[in-house]
Amino acid sequence: MRWSNSLSTRPSLEAAVKEVVEKSLKSLGTSTADLGLVFISSAFTSEYSRLMPLLKEHLPETIIIGCSGGGIVGMNDEWKPEEIEQQTAISLSLAHLPEVAIKAFHISAEELPDLDSSPDRWCNLIGVPTVDEPQFIIFADSFSARINDLLQGLDYAYPNSSKVGGLTSSGINGQNAGLFCENSLYQEGAIGVSLSGKIILETIVAQGCRPIGQPYRVTEGERNIVLKLEELVRSDQILSDGVKQSPLEALQKLVQNLDVKDRKLAENSLFVGIVRDEFKENLEQGDFLIRNLIGVDPKAGAIAIGDRVRTGQRIQFHLRDAHTSAEDLEILLQRYQKEVGLEVTATNNATALMFSCLGRGEVLYGKPNFDSRLFSSYLNIPISGFFCNGEIGPVGGSTFLHGYTSVFAICRQPS
């Protein structure tokens, strides 16, 4: 297995495509590639229809998928990742994947089976049997794809498969987004590729938040409204039930106990984390699905969050800022490197894909290339990707659509 990536910021589409193809093929060390992943900035919106014909002219036998983004990630000539935001850019990753079966697909919202359909319906839609245990890279339109239904269906049909990706973005100017699959340009639905065989796809989902206070159990809720909470008090590493109270009461007590800096941060950067592994007692960063705190009802003492809640779920309030986002990603990178044992030494026997929220990048950190350079300081492999309107990645064994997150997918050979 070999991977390569090249990044071009040339304003001419023909010149940019020629540059990334030539450099990527040279780095790959072969004249052919089995898979191509292309990411193109919204500055090329008017030329989206020309992208795949130009790529296929150079790479006629390569299976290629990709999408547009408000920012593009790729490797520069000095083997360093760059995040090109709101400027002309194309990033192309090529892969030589022996003993890996590759299947590209496009799915419209109308084609999705009912959520109570059998796994076979979903397997027939993708064209890959469950027994193959494929890994999925998925890109989707922000508005028309019914992405949550798609992810739920894929989890049902392929429970042991990783699914990563993102929703197309078009930057600050609101141009149309593009989905590219083989010879076609789509502006609706979802496209993707399944990879089966001798390949591992591992994920790091950095949601950029840190928990504050104690966890709570929802004792009363309706749809996305939390009506009553029960504080879970930790004693000798055991969680025990505490006082039942309204969410607003719990939040007021929590904020009062924060230091001045965190109290200020809670005014506009407060989120709710939902625990997704109900059997895990010792909760860590990464065990929560982070959702927006949408509103508060002072009269009822209730809160509304950006997801459905159910009685018995555990939640915990979270804060987010640039320092926390950096710390969260570094903790997860350290954990991954310790578990997997990959060396930092530069190699193209693996690759990383980065799907990052438009709200991160230079807007969050005040300087460019932060997430990608931090990643490469731990895993120095080719990296590519784009800035999304929503990021796809797993938490607690299920796949979700995230916001304000950086999802990294590491593709490598089995040991």
Position 268 confidence tier, pLDDT thresholds 50, 70, 90 = confident
Residues 97 and 411: their CA atoms lie apart, in Å, by 11
Across the chain, mean pLDDT equals: 90
Residues above pLDDT 90, as percent of the chain: 69
What angle do helix axes 147-157 and 119-126 make, rounded to 10 degrees?
A: 110
pLDDT at 172: 47
- Fill in the DSSP letter of residue 132: G
What angle do helix axes 370-378 and 322-340 make, rounded to 10 degrees?
A: 20
Q: What is the pLDDT of residues 145-200, one digit of tens each?
A: 799 999 999 999 999 999 999 999 875 444 578 999 998 999 899 999 999 999 99
pLDDT at 287: 81
The H or E element containing residue 270 is strand 270-275
Residues 246 and 61: their CA atoms lie apart, in Å, by 60
3 state SS of 19: helix
Listed in sequence order, the residues at least 6 apart from 297 whose beta carbon sits closer than 8 Å to its beta carbon are 225, 248, 303, 304
Tell me what the mean pLDDT of segment 284-305 comes to: 87
Name the phi and psi angles at 63, rounded to 5. Answer: -75, 120
DSSP assignment of 37-59 equals: EEEEEGGGGGGHHHHHHHHHHH-
Res. 415: pLDDT tops 60: yes
Query: Which among 283, 344, 340 is positioned nearest to 315, based on CA atoms?
Result: 283
Contact present, 205 and 165 (Cβ < 8 Å): no
pLDDT at 239: 46
Q: What is the pLDDT of residues 323-382, one digit of tens each?
A: 989 999 999 999 898 888 766 566 788 999 999 999 899 999 999 999 999 999 999 899
pLDDT at 343: 61
Residues 289 and 272: their CA atoms lie apart, in Å, by 8
Residues above pLDDT 70, as percent of the chain: 94
Q: What is the pLDDT of residues 1-53, one digit of tens each?
A: 999 999 999 999 999 999 999 999 999 987 689 999 999 998 899 999 999 99
pLDDT at 280: 77
Contact present, 317 and 254 (Cβ < 8 Å): yes
Copy the structure tokens of residue 331. Answer: 């903790």
| Cα angle: 305, vertex 308, 310; to 5 degrees | 110
Burial grade of 374 (CB within 10 A; 0-12, 13-18, 19 or more): middle
Copy the structure tokens of residue 380. Answer: 């120095």
pLDDT at 112: 94
Number of C-alpha atoms within 13 angstroms, CB side, residue 359? 14
2 DSSP β-pair partners:
96
One-letter amino acid of 109 = A
109-135 residues labelled b (16+ CB within 10 A) or e (exposed): beebbeeeeebeebbebbebebebebb
One-letter amino acid of 99 = E
pLDDT at 145: 78
Position 208 confidence tier, pLDDT thresholds 50, 70, 90 = confident
pLDDT at 242: 63
pLDDT at 236: 47
Copy the structure tokens of residue 338. Answer: 């310790």
What's this model's pTM, rounded to 2 decimal places? 0.90
